Chain A
Amino acid sequence: MELTDRAAVDEVLAGKHESFRVLVERHGRKVFGLAYRMTGNEHDADEVVQEAFLRAYKRLDSFEARSTFSTWLYRIASNCSLDLLAKRKQDKMHIVESDHREDGENLEERAIEFAAPQAGPERLLLSAELRQRVAGAMQRLTAVERTAFVLRHFEGRSISEIGSVLKVKDEAVKNTVFRAVKKMRTELEPFITAGSVRGGAR
């Protein structure tokens, strides 16, 4: 019989450390998806995945049965992503400072370019311009808005799960998702309703 997440956690805590592999293999791909959407690029996403599993392993004794393992892991991965975004922002601020802020605009553009996903055959259907705009609009969300939006819109996580990731009440999550949607709409709606991508979006 396949080992449940809970049973795998118990085995690791009981000393069978190899059982952690079940958790890594079961959730790795999903955590990558989350990390990618949070950070906007593959390199950072890989770093977040590693760090998230490492943190989860170290703190495995604090995982309690009240939430599912995947919710708990998502919470860790979201926090790792937020930490990395904060670090990247600081790095960027240093560069901007040393460039006397003249390059601020370029840096922003480079960041968006960097964040645009690599085109695969099926993705060619999606307008490249829309992809860039979505990436750009997401970069302009605050860290918490971005987390809430990624988890609700792309990952389909429930309001209460997001609440446990962000450590806020359901009402606050709803407000944050709404704020994020409002900003995304403001940036993207004129472009989408202009009809230039509607045909290609789905």
Chain B
Amino acid sequence: MNHLSEQDLVLYFYGDAPKTAALEHHLADCSACAAEYANLRATLSAIEFPVPERASDYEAQLWSTLRPRLEATEAPKRSFWAAALQPRRWAVAGALAAIVIAAFLAGRYMPRPNTPTNQQIVEKAPAKSGSDRVLMVAVGDHLDKTQMILVELINTRAEGKVDISAERDLAQSLVNENRLYRQTAQRDKDPELAGMLDQLERVLVDIAHHPDSVSGKELEDLQQRIESQGVLFKVRVVESKVKARGRAEAASSQASKSSTL
């Protein structure tokens, strides 16, 4: 067996290594790896970040500060549709979800007489809002993921060689998704969403075209391009609108459902 990699040892330290028995066997036989592991363990065991003690009545204090703030916000409640759709929505995970969304989008591209805009769908054709809500949920998730990359990149210190491969890979995987949503938004004559997705697409493509690691200067340039356009802010604004729309459509479909029951 070859020597263990540093990553193997880190995984082993945290109990996340897949083949523990083989690994332990090697550690017992190989003094070089055993010494390397001893070093790693000594360092990691010494890394502590103690949390300051909270008062014994911390929980009560926290509740008394939170309570008025909670009372000032709209109380959450489970809608009929949320309850009915939720387990199924989450069971349809990964690839299956992608297929469903793809099929749904394909359906939207079928020529229809007099394609209604989103607004009209909400107001006049509540029967469609269930599927629109699926789209809004998908777009909301997409914006969530995109936001993570942008926050991550903006927060990375632009010094020396910086490894941005993880963000780059994620951006690559989001570009196609983004294109699909943008085209749908354009088709639905939703200029705000389409415009934001268009801008986002350019940023994602920009990130996706970077090598594994970049120089501090390159990263700084990228950060400036992201920040100068205020993309992150726009994503947040549109995301909250998209989510609100998802909720509004859920409510309207519920209303129409109950009126037909």
Contact = CB atoms under 8 A, between A and B. Distances in A.
B250 to A, nearest CB: 10
Interface of B: 6-7, 10-11, 14, 16, 39-40, 42-54, 58-60, 62-63, 65-67, 69-71, 73-79, 82, 86-87, 90, 144-145, 148, 151-152, 154-157, 163, 166, 170, 232
Interface of A: 10, 12-15, 17, 20-21, 24-25, 28-29, 32-33, 36-37, 42, 49-50, 53-54, 57-62, 64-66, 82-83, 85-86, 89, 117-118, 120, 123, 126, 130-131, 134-135, 138, 140, 142-144, 152-154, 159, 166-168, 172, 174-179, 181-182, 184-185, 188-189, 192-193, 197-198, 201-202
Nearest to A18: B67
Contacts, number: 171
Nearest to A56: B76
A54 B69 contact: yes
A14, A159, A185, most chain B CB atoms within 10 A: A185
Contact of A64 (B46, B48, B87, B232): B87
Which 6 residue pairs across A and B have the least CB separation, nearest first? A60-B76, A25-B59, A143-B155, A13-B78, A201-B46, A33-B51
A106 B144 CA distance: 35
- Classify the secondary structure of A's interface with B: helix
A24, A134, A188, most chain B CB atoms within 10 A: A24
B49 A117 contact: yes
Nearest to A180: B10
A53 to B, nearest CB: 6
Contact of B59 (A28, A82, A178): A28
Nearest to A55: B73
A86 B154 contact: yes
Contacts of B63: 21, 24-25, 28
B66 A36 contact: no
A61 B70 contact: no
A28 B152 CA distance: 26
A144 B162 CA distance: 14
A5 to B, nearest CB: 15
Contact of B144 (A17, A59, A85, A167): A167
A144 B152 contact: yes
A193 B73 contact: no
